[in-house]
Amino acid sequence: MKKKILIFGSGSIGTHHANAAVSLNYNVFITDKEENQLINMRENIYPSRYKKWNEQIKCLPYKSVFNLRDTFDLIIIGVPPNNHLKLLKTCIKNLKFKKVLVEKPLCVFSDDYNFLLKKDLKNKVFCGYNHSISKSYEFFLKNLKKLVKEKNYKLTVDIHWKESFDLVLKAHPWIKSISQSYLSNFKKGGGVSHEYSHAIHLFLILKEILFKNKKIKFEKKMKFLKKKRIHYDEFIYFSYFNKFIRLRLFANSKNNPPIKKIVVKNDSIHLLEWTRKLENGKELVKTYLKPYQEKNFKITRRDDFINELKLLLDKDIVKTKYLNLAYAIQVNMLLKSIFKSYV
């Protein structure tokens, strides 16, 4: 029997998920509170990305969805971050499902996610940090763990995640300016720390690998942009460190072309590097220890979503580890503590 997928949100993320799901021969249903947005997806967004609309994707009126009695293998919540938890509660109350995937971030920094801790949802709720389950990142982590285990290095590990919001808007041509988007307001889930929270997610995975249960210190810095109708963090710097290892994250909303990479060094000597160059259709891992190795992984944005859905619906518990609710909550716990210091 075909798996049933229900998608909330017919913008960019919903379109990617719909295409990925129908490509995997699932029964795909999609809905949106805004009927005009559903029409826009069907007539413009989907054809511009995938040549033509796929009639196997079924568009449903929003009000009718919560009367459905089907059991869905997966529900996908692809709406703006400030609506994630409210919609998740509604789904839990009114729909039958095996799993639900909330797009990143889990919620806005100020939202109360404690209800997720009180229910038995750890194997039912996941978050869309799909960069962490790519084959290239898996290969990078394998080499990093080997490096940490076998060599007594003093390490600096830097994550650079720098991409202009102009490029984000370019992928969403129906949004004319940033002031028309939640991106412009950190209270709605905009700004660098929310929009690029997948970098924070990678940062926390690396913290776990590098430090385990060792005592560490923490540094932080945020820079905000405030104009008429715009107020968001445009730069963040986070660092965990002790006298042997320093892990740093640098992210901004300005670089064009974007820079997305992780560099592992001993003083000035490069040891390991992971780079995502979506514009060139590849992710690259370089290992500088003898023997030098350079490995290319072909990637498209479509591949990110297909890989994610396959892992979730094939029940690969080991490989979906980093999509688990626990990691998503860690990201939001960090965001909550950071913003508390600044706003």
pLDDT in tens, 97-114: 999 999 999 999 999 999
Question: Strand order of the sheet with strand 27-32?
Answer: 57-61, 27-32, 4-8, 74-77, 100-102, 125-127
What CATH number is given to the structural domain containing 159?
Answer: 3.30.360.10
User: Checking DSSP bridges between strand 259-266 and strand 155-162, what pairing results, if any?
Assistant: antiparallel
- Tell whether 329 is covered by a domain: no
Q: Tell me: do 141 and 224 sit in the same domain.
A: yes
What CATH number is given to the structural domain containing 48?
Answer: 3.40.50.720
Which pLDDT belongs to residue 119?
A: 72
**Element spanning 307, H or E:** helix 301-313
Residues with Cβ within 8 Å of residue 149, at least 6 apart in sequence: none
Q: Tell me: do 122 and 163 sit in the same domain.
A: no
Residue 213 identity: N
Q: Tell me: do 143 and 122 sit in the same domain.
A: no
| Pair 160, 250: CB distance under 8 Å | yes
- Tell whether 337 is covered by a domain: no
Residues with Cβ within 8 Å of residue 210, at least 6 apart in sequence: 148, 155, 157, 240, 245, 247
Q: Tell me: do 148 and 91 sit in the same domain.
A: no
Domain containing residue 256:
135-298
pLDDT tens readout for residues 211-232: 988 999 999 999 999 998 999 9
**Token pair 């009718």: residue:** 64
- Tell whether 313 is covered by a domain: no
What is the count of structural domains for the chain? 2
| Pair 97, 91: CB distance under 8 Å | yes
| Pair 26, 56: CB distance under 8 Å | no
pLDDT tens readout for residues 251-284: 999 999 999 999 999 988 999 999 999 989 999 9
Boundary-marking domain end, from 78, 102, 130:
130
- Tell whether 318 is covered by a domain: no
Which pLDDT belongs to residue 318?
A: 65
